[in-house]
Amino acid sequence: MHRTIIEPFKIKMVEPLSFLTREQRENLLIEAGYNLFLLKSKHVTFDFLTDSGTTAMSSAQWAAMMIADETYAGSKSFEKFQNVVNEVMGFPYVIPTHQGRASERVFFGHLVKKGNKVPSNNHFDTTRANIEYLGAEAVDLVIDEGKDPKNTFPFKGNIDLKKLEDFCRTHQTQIPFGMITITNNTGGGQPVSLENIKACANIYHKYNIPFIIDACRFAENSMLIKQRETNQNHKSVADIARETFADADGCLMSAKKDAMSNIGGFIALKTNNWLQSLKNLLILTEGFPTYGGLAARDLEAMAVGLKEVLDESYLEYRIAVSRYMVEKLNALGIPTVLPAGGHAVYIDAKSFLPHIPSHQFPGQALAVELYRREGIRTCEIGSVMFDNAAMELVRLAFPRRVYTQSHFDYIIEGLGDLVPEKAQLRGFKMVYKPEALRHFTARFEPL
């Protein structure tokens, strides 16, 4: 029996990694005002900024793109794409969009009115922003375990059913639809159990509230259900995915995640109730309903990707990457959010660098050091991003099918040298502080 979980693919096309010296990186850091968003990709060796749109596509996806039907209306590629969405998720009505937030804008644009409230476990930041833009409130009702980074509960993405029931009873007439995000990106890529999804659907439906799933990482969530939930291991991931959507009225999707594509998204629905109004809105900003802001070749890539993502050897490897990194980091004495989630690992910089207070940005200090030493680009999720941040995290989000086990081992080796020297790390001062979304453009100076 083999114990090593391997990359279940061979590599046909390669892109060289860029290697710089530590001195070169130090100079680039100074130029970028110590903001990793302001670095160029050619200066980054391992890019863990996001898993969004960074997937390596398969030979089958590239092949499908070559036979795309680039027709304005009624493309064959659209039909193929729609059939795959229906087969994988069980939703016959499909509206393509150029990415997840475009699905949000079109769907919310039709359904959300000023003064409405939309509950979820945790809204993703663009989801929240699109709801708030319409004068409504995005309400997070994740379970308490989901807010505690040390808690090892296996389904920390679950919604609090008691709070949800109270919320629906109190605000029923103001709720145009209810949501759940799988996996819970904001909460650390933590899964939601099938039991919780079904119970959540029952509560929404008891109050006549439509149930919409934010499905960006539905395949990772389905695999984590198979691995962690009682009585689910005997089912195929494809069956678990269909069960996940069975009680929902529709979903919003960013194809840049679990559709294994570099761009794209869609709205998928069980009935045609809202279809015509949504299509009318789509035509205003995205395009005709059989392409929705995409080229037909993107529809082809999504159609193939949505089936490939359900390959269990792929998902076993995918989930193993985060688990492996959490285990190795913890063994080095680098604390992380527990347990490992689907697409990313979150280092707890506050515990790792207790000598750097929050107002001196311990997450930024660690993110800068990871780039300086190893050329790794990560994302601070803490006091740089939010006022009054509850945690100081550094996120390593893993692109799909891009890096290999030896890349991860190489990174872990380098981090081993950082641990004994961590007391030398210093905090930062924010010398340019933009009004909104400041993490993208802020500049820093070392203290």
Ligand X SMILES: *Cc1c(COP(=O)(O)O)cnc(C)c1O
| By CB under 6 A, residue 364 contacts ligand X | no
Can you give the length of the chain in residues?
Answer: 447
Outline where 53-179 has alpha helix (H). 59-66, 76-89, 100-111, 125-133, 161-171
**By CB under 6 A, is residue 116 in contact with ligand X?**
no
For the chain, what is the total number of helices (H) and then of strands (E)? 15, 14
What lies within 8 Å, CB to CB, of 254 at 6+ separation is 52, 99, 100, 101, 103, 216, 264, 265
Site size for ligand X (CB under 6 A): 15
Interface region with ligand X, contact rule CB under 6 A, candidates 195-203, 239-247, 249-257, 385-393 = 249-257
Residue with smaller CB distance to ligand X, 183 or 360: 183
The region that residue 178 occupies, defined by phi over 0 for left and psi between -120 and 50 for alpha, beta otherwise, is beta
Q: Does 127 bind ligand X (CB under 6 A)?
A: yes
The residue whose two tokens read 């900003």 is 285
221 lies in the binding site for ligand X (CB under 6 A): no
Between CA 274 and CA 378 the distance in angstroms is 40
Binding region for ligand X (CB under 6 A) out of 56-64, 233-241, 254-262, 357-365? 254-262
Residue closer to ligand X (CB basis): 293 or 335: 293
Helices 362-374 and 405-418: crossing angle, nearest 10°? Answer: 120
Residues 152-181 that bind ligand X (CB under 6 A): 181
Stretch that binds ligand X, among 97-105, 137-145, 220-228, 325-333 (CB under 6 A): 97-105
* Between 257 and 400, CB nearer to ligand X: 257
Which of 256, 297, 377, 400 forms a contact with ligand X (CB under 6 A)?
256
- Residue from 54, 61, 99, 322 in contact with ligand X (CB under 6 A): 99
- Would you call the peptide bond into 183 cis, given omega within 30 degrees of 0 as the criterion? yes
Cβ 140 to ligand X, closest distance in Å? 13
Q: Which of 177, 191, 142 is nearest to 162 (CA)?
A: 142
Task: Give, as ranges, the residues between 197 and 216 that touch ligand X (CB under 6 A).
Answer: 214, 216
Summarize as ranges the residues that interact with ligand X (CB under 6 A). Answer: 52, 99-101, 124, 126-127, 181, 185, 214, 216, 254, 256-257, 265
